[in-house]
Amino acid sequence: EDKVVQSPLSLVVHEGDTVTLNCSYEVTNFRSLLWYKQEKKAPTFLFMLTSSGIEKKSGRLSSILDKKELFSILNITATQTGDSAIYLCALAGGTSYGKLTFGQGTILTVHP
Amino acid sequence: EAGVAQSPRYKIIEKRQSVAFWCNPISGHATLYWYQQILGQGPKLLIQFQNNGVVDDSQLPKDRFSAERLKGVDSTLKIQPAKLEDSAVYLCASSLLTSGRYNEQFFGPGTRLTVL
């Protein structure tokens, strides 16, 4: 059974800090790894990673995948209060196309 | 482009009662998913449809949960009878037809169910 474990479970920082969120996984048939941001509503898509070592970047957010060591990290630089959310890591794998297995999420709180 | 619509947004029921949730996916999206998200956990897939056929329902508690997507568009998820542990947010998502690669899933706002 595919498995996704995120750490830390929660994180409290001040505006301007840099944070690194971790996601490790076990999968039988890797297709891709995805990061989502969830505020009070639905998860919104951040990144999809399929290849090792290639950094995806969007503004202050970046992410990279290591398929040998089976983990991914999500970095957020110069954090803002609007970054406060739950960050979810999800794995697309197995035999069912499209099925996502989510981790438990990291709750990020950014104080002014 | 309109997003994924869900209703109701909130529902409070007593245990052993029945409840139904409705989802309207993004137009043209052939694949529809129902997820259950218990507080403090990530979403868990309950059922995946492709058009009106079930692709994966391995984690759906079939003794009490049922779902249908009769015309390959809207979908309903039903719980009968509800248990306390069914309290969760039920998320609906949709994506373009899957064809051997992952297609981005777009999530609706969710229905928050509280079972008393």
What is the distance between the alpha carbons of residues A97 and A29, in angstroms, rounded to a whole number? 11
What is the pLDDT, as a whole number, of residue B100? 55
Count structural domains, chain A: 1
The per-residue pLDDT for range B46-88, each reduced to its tens digit, is 999 998 899 889 999 999 999 999 888 999 999 999 999 999 9
B15 is a domain residue: yes
Chain B residue numbers with beta carbons less than 8 Å from the beta carbon of A31 are 101-102
B1: pLDDT confidence band, cut at 50, 70 and 90?
low
Give the residue among A2, A24, A9 at the shortest CA–CA distance from A87. A9
Count structural domains, chain B: 1
What is the distance between the alpha carbons of residues B34 and A9, in angstroms, rounded to a whole number? 24
- Closest chain A CA to residue B99: A97
A96–chain B Cβ distance below 8 A for any pair = yes
The per-residue pLDDT for range B17-55, each reduced to its tens digit, is 999 999 999 998 999 999 999 998 999 999 999 988 998
Q: Which domain holds residue A19?
A: 3-111
Between positions 31 and 50 of A, the ones with CB within 8 A of B are 31-32, 34, 41-45, 48
B101 is a domain residue: no
CA angle A100, A97, B38 (to 5 degrees): 25
What is the pLDDT, as a whole number, of residue A30? 86
- Closest chain A CA to residue B94: A98
Collapse the DSSP code of A47 into the 3-class scheme (helix H, G, I; strand E, B; otherwise coil) and give the result. strand
B12 is a domain residue: yes
What is the distance between the alpha carbons of residues A16 and B15, in angstroms, rounded to a whole number? 46
* pLDDT digits (tens), chain A, 112 positions: 789 999 999 999 999 999 999 999 998 888 889 999 999 878 999 999 988 888 999 999 999 999 899 999 999 999 999 999 999 999 987 666 678 899 999 999 999 9
Give the CATH number for residue B87: 2.60.40.10
B72 is a domain residue: yes
- By DSSP bridging, strand A43-49 and strand A19-26 are unpaired
B58 is a domain residue: yes
Distance (Å) of CA A2 to CA A25, A78, B5, B116: 8, 33, 29, 33
What is the pLDDT, as a whole number, of residue A1? 79
B25 is a domain residue: yes
Give the CATH number for residue A28: 2.60.40.10
Q: Which domain holds residue B57?
A: 5-96+109-115
What is the distance between the alpha carbons of residues B26 and A9, in angstroms, rounded to a whole number? 32
What is the pLDDT, as a whole number, of residue A104? 96
Give the residue among A39, A33, A48, A9 at the shortest CA–CA distance from A100. A33
What is the pLDDT, as a whole number, of residue A97? 66
What is the pLDDT, as a whole number, of residue B98? 60
Q: How far apart are the first and last CA of chain B?
A: 37
What is the pLDDT, as a whole number, of residue B102? 63
What is the distance between the alpha carbons of residues A2 and A94, in angstroms, rounded to a whole number? 7
